[in-house]
Amino acid sequence: SLKSDENAQNASDMSLNKRTKSIYTPLELQFIEMKKHYKDAILCVECGYKYRFFGEDAEIAAKQLNIYCHQDHNFMTASIPSHRLFVHVRRLVAKGYKVGVIKQMETAALKAAGGNKSSLFSRKLTALYTKSTLIGEDILFKEIWLQTLIFGLDDSIDVEVTGDVPDNYLLCICENGENLKDRKKGDVFIGIMAVQPTTGEVIFDSFWDCASRLELECRVSRLQPVEIILPSSLSDQSEKLINSITSM
């Protein structure tokens, strides 16, 4: 009886979806599941010889990359050729977006030879790029290699070369007021760690700072980080300083 009730409910849900035209394709369901884990990133999903954007990601990509966006089933979608992936990733990251690359974990040939040739390609996130983690030379070499492989050595190959920030630090800040008296005065003990992915350089420091946060301001100004990771709770003085720096 319980099973029949569940089947009836499923049938009801399916008919509701049909009326609202919200039945998702297997690829759309796969995207929805991946997007749950990476809500703050624009996802590029590998589909054969192109990468596709879905939903709001597609609308953002269309606007920032000047590419065509259209309705396909339940989502807006846009696409780019596989060999142009890293050029477009660089453009989106330069605009301040976090970009995730979702790749197919099996080839069409292996899938055709296996017993699951009619099933959906398995996909997973293989890279997540931000301003501090986009290593320019690595991206550039991949782009040149891919275009050379596809088009051969040709002077007309369009490879974008943009100047990379020499010190693209990712900075993490934490703080701790040792006692109530210090916190009331605004004094706090601060720890920082800065990492530069391009060279592997790591800088760390800890220090007492007064309410004006002069010590913190000095270090942040010196490092000029492109990204800052902050704790869930931050003192008002530190938050004010960080907001002031990042707004500039």
**Do 95 and 177 fall within a single domain?**
no
Within a domain: 56: yes
- CATH number of domain containing 30: 3.40.1170.10
98 contacts 130 by C-beta, under 8 angstroms: yes
Q: How far apart are CA 248 and CA 32, in angstroms?
A: 36
Considering 93, 123, 140, which residue would you say is the last residue of a domain?
140
51 contacts 85 by C-beta, under 8 angstroms: yes
Range of the domain at 197: 170-247
Q: What is the mean pLDDT of the chain?
A: 79
Q: How far apart are CA 22 and CA 73, in angstroms?
A: 8
Query: What are the tokens at 182?
Result: 């210090």
Within a domain: 102: yes
Within a domain: 11: no
**Do 105 and 193 fall within a single domain?**
no
- For tokens 């605009």, name the residue: 95
**Do 103 and 191 fall within a single domain?**
no
**Do 81 and 120 fall within a single domain?**
yes
Name the H helices within 169-235.
180-185, 214-223
pLDDT (tens digit, 9 = 90+) per residue, 102-131? 999 877 666 666 666 667 888 999 999 988
Within a domain: 9: no
pLDDT (tens digit, 9 = 90+) per residue, 5-61? 545 444 444 433 443 456 899 999 999 999 999 999 999 999 989 999 999 999 999
Contacts of 216 (CB under 8 A, 6+ apart): 173, 190, 192, 209, 238, 241
Contacts of 123 (CB under 8 A, 6+ apart): 30, 34, 45, 46, 102, 103, 104, 105
CA nearest to 103, candidates 134, 80, 119, 126 = 126
Average the pLDDT over each of 50-64, 91-105, 124-138, 230-244 and give the range with the smallest value.
124-138
**Do 131 and 194 fall within a single domain?**
no
Query: What are the tokens at 92?
Result: 């989106």
- CATH number of domain containing 211: 3.30.420.110
**Do 132 and 186 fall within a single domain?**
no
Return the axis-axis angle of helices 236-247 and 214-223, rounded to nearest 10°. 30
Within a domain: 49: yes
Q: How many domains in the chain?
A: 2
Angle made by CA atoms 66, 71, 77, in degrees to the nearest 5: 50
Look at the pTM and tell me if it is higher than 0.85.
no
Within a domain: 154: no
Percent of the chain with pLDDT strictly greater than 90: 48
Query: What are the tokens at 5?
Result: 């009730």
Within a domain: 157: no
CB atoms < 10 A from the CB of 79, how many?
21
